[in-house]
Amino acid sequence: MSQPTSTSQWQLPAIVSGLRSAREQWRTRNGRSSGEQGGRELPSREAIGQVFEQLCGALFPMRLGPVDLREESEDFYVGHTLDTALTSLLTQARLELRYAARHDNADVAASDARALSVIQHFAAALPHLRVLLDTDVLAAYHGDPAARSVDEVLLCYPGILAIIHHRLAHHLYRAGLPLLARIGSELAHSATGIDIHPGAQIGPGFFIDHGTGVVIGETAIIGERVRIYQAVTLGAKRFPADESGTLHKGQPRHPIVEDDVVIYAGATILGRITIGQGSTIGGNVWLTRSVPAQSNITQANLQLDCQDKH
């Protein structure tokens, strides 16, 4: 007996038809089109992944670039790679801004000019971002006695990959490309287990040691020379909503961490509170109130503080 074809075996025509119907119903309910002339409506995660990988190589060519690269051809490689990456990024930026313009009933044509301007400014900022990232690499090297070289830090440490992605994504976020920024951040999140929202403001010399399970929220503000360890959360204490139950967006709701703060593994810091300059927050601390500069917060002294209040 002959084997059934794959189409008859899986009844694919009926399944394809059912999926088309489900897509059309969803688009109708949500007022969505199928894109310009039937093309892609939203940016591509795969394309953004390639762009960020190329940008990492252009920023650190002899460490994150191709294996056969030589110093005498660095500039050629960087120029060629940036041309490719920025051109692709421009295409993705146009998709995001066109999408936003259509849903805001704005001028779609004007969004293309805005996309070009945004990516031009992003390109011009890359030298500054490289200098800023150098402070993060040095902070990791000086902050970890197990690090034998800055090269090891750059090649091996997940916190460095996460902060490279964040520095790039944060610029895109502030420039009005939140979806591209979020995709870039989530790619690093998937690879490292470190979840930094692209809206978070982070000063120079930032070091995440080990890293897995770190969460830094959208409105967090982190000062200079801050060091945090794995499983630290800088999160929101509550999520205000309107009468219909819709969450308010964009309100400051995450901690402010001032300069030279160290936060040890497993600490959870919630709400719009301030951790004063030079403070140390111990492991597994649960903190929902501000602390002054030079504080040393541990589980033990928090428990004593609670007992004194009662």
- What residue has token string 């002899």? 62
Assess whether 173 and 65 both reside in one domain: yes
147 & 285 share domain: no
For the question of whether the overall pTM of this predicted structure is more than 0.95, the answer is no
Q: Indicate whether 163 and 261 sit together in one domain.
A: no
Q: Which domain-ending residue is among 165, 193, 221?
A: 193
For residues 54 and 186, state if they share a domain.
Answer: yes
For residue 105, the model assigns a pLDDT of 85
Distance CA 95, CA 35 (A): 9
Residue 50: half-sphere exposure toward Cβ, Cα within 13 Å: 13
Please report the pLDDT score of residue 238 as a whole number.
79
pLDDT score of 161: 98
172 domain residue, yes or no: yes
287 and 171 co-located in one domain? no
Give mean pLDDT, residues 241-252. 78
Which residues make beta-bridge pairs with 269? 234, 287
Q: Are residues 82 and 224 in the same domain?
A: no
Closest C-alpha to 162, from 142, 139, 138, 133: 133
Q: How many domains does the chain have?
A: 2
CATH at residue 240: 2.160.10.10
Q: Tell whether 62 and 189 lie within a shared domain.
A: yes
Q: Are strands 207-208 and 195-196 parallel, antiparallel or unpaired?
A: unpaired
Mean predicted confidence (pLDDT) in 90-119: 93
| pLDDT score of 249 | 77
* Mean pLDDT, range 40-57, rounded to an integer: 96
Q: 270 lies in a domain?
A: yes
In this structure, is residue 287 part of a structural domain? yes
**Do residues 96 and 188 share a domain?**
yes
Quick one: 44 exposed, middle or buried, by C-beta within 10 A (0-12, 13-18, 19+)? middle
**Are 172 and 238 a contacting pair, CB within 8 Å?**
no
What's residue 40's pLDDT? 80
Please tell me whether residues 113 and 169 are part of one structural domain: yes
Assess if residue 233 is contained within a domain.
Answer: yes
In a domain, 250, yes or no: yes
Domain final residue pick, 193, 226, 253:
193
The secondary structure element, H or E, covering residue 207 is: strand 207-208
What is the domain extent for residue 286? Answer: 213-310
Q: Is residue 23 part of a domain?
A: no
What is the distance between the alpha carbons of residues 123 and 102, in angstroms, rounded to a whole number? 26
**Portion of the chain with pLDDT greater than 70, in percent:** 93
Higher local confidence (pLDDT), 285 or 300: 285
Question: Is 271 a domain residue?
Answer: yes
Identify whether residues 290 and 246 lie together within a single domain. yes
